[in-house]
Amino acid sequence: MAKINFGGVEENVVTREEFPLTKAQAVLKDEVVAIIGYGVQGPGQSLNLKDNGIAVIVGQRQGSKSWDKAVADGWVPGETLFEIEEACAKATIIQYLLSDAGQIAQWPVIKKHLTPGKALYFSHGFGITYNDQTGIVPPEGVDVILVAPKGSGTSLRRLFVAGKGLNSSYAIYQDATGKAFERVIALGIAIGSGYLFETDFRKEVFSDLTGERGILMGALAGVFEAQYNVLRKNGHSPSEAFNETVEELTQSLMPLVAENGMDWMYANTSVTAQRGALDWRHKFREATAPVFDELYERVSSGKEAERVITVSSKPDYREKLEEELQELRESEMWQTGAQVRKLRPENN
């Protein structure tokens, strides 16, 4: 484990150089990893593990769409694809990758297969951190670990296939065997992490829920809508409003920021853009800071977890969700976006 200085703060980081794939394979050579859930993270993590030579099976409810997807991805019923309970019985490491609501529902099944020496692996700290609401309290004899890729399972898989990696955080909640550190890092490397940085279950879920509701999705979508609506209100065409709001950011600027940083972007743009961005940056920061403070308080107090559990457990949740997504999908801005994407050169 290396100490890396990030902006004057030292953090524990594990890289592929100090913990190569060959070491991960050696650590996991006698393990059987069961992927429970084949939704957001399950496909990417399981396929990467398999391609890296780890013994992997998938546990999923037969007859579900996810079961069919697993079959389409090459998992063989009765050989590498099983019902959830059978997969848990065969595993030494259970990767619990169901949705948060799914984890609550399946916990009684999972718990009875957590015999001493096994490991319970998460990619999200929700179930453990809010266990007063979820009821997910692991027995004492098992390792409880976390690897959280900083992106979707789709991105994890795409980067892996391209020979790249997606950074992940790692955490140890319970080390019952004395092997939890080697297990968690080996799994992190084997699923395709670029490097792994240390956190704990609470910090992971607090940062994750804040990020999802904030800059990664909620705030980003809200700011997109606000600017698009202002441009449309002032006579700009849908195409112009969308290109200036979304397309230029996602297709041109963000890849450059990812490569070089925002400071480089400011230094390599026109004086007009440079001056305006530097001035207005402070206004947006001050305007949104109270919203982020409120958001973090709701996350850390468990109020957001309570809302997720309450709403997602309602029998009509999927129906209501589709109504919300349809409203978003059919809005003028995202209808315009669909047309703009079709006009990109690579699609013609």
Catalytic machinery residues: 124
User: What is the distance between the alpha carbons of residues 312 and 279, in angstroms, rounded to a whole number?
Assistant: 42
Contact 55, 186 (CB under 8 A): no
Gyration radius of the chain over CA positions: 22
Q: Residue with structure tokens 């279950």?
A: 201
| Exposure of 125 in the CB half-sphere (CA atoms within 13 A) | 23
| 81, β-bridge pairs | 58, 77
Alpha helix positions (H), the chain: 21-27, 42-51, 65-72, 84-90, 100-111, 126-129, 131-134, 153-161, 180-190, 201-213, 218-233, 238-242, 248, 254-260, 262-267, 271-300, 303-312, 317-329, 332-342
| Exposure of 30 in the CB half-sphere (CA atoms within 13 A) | 3
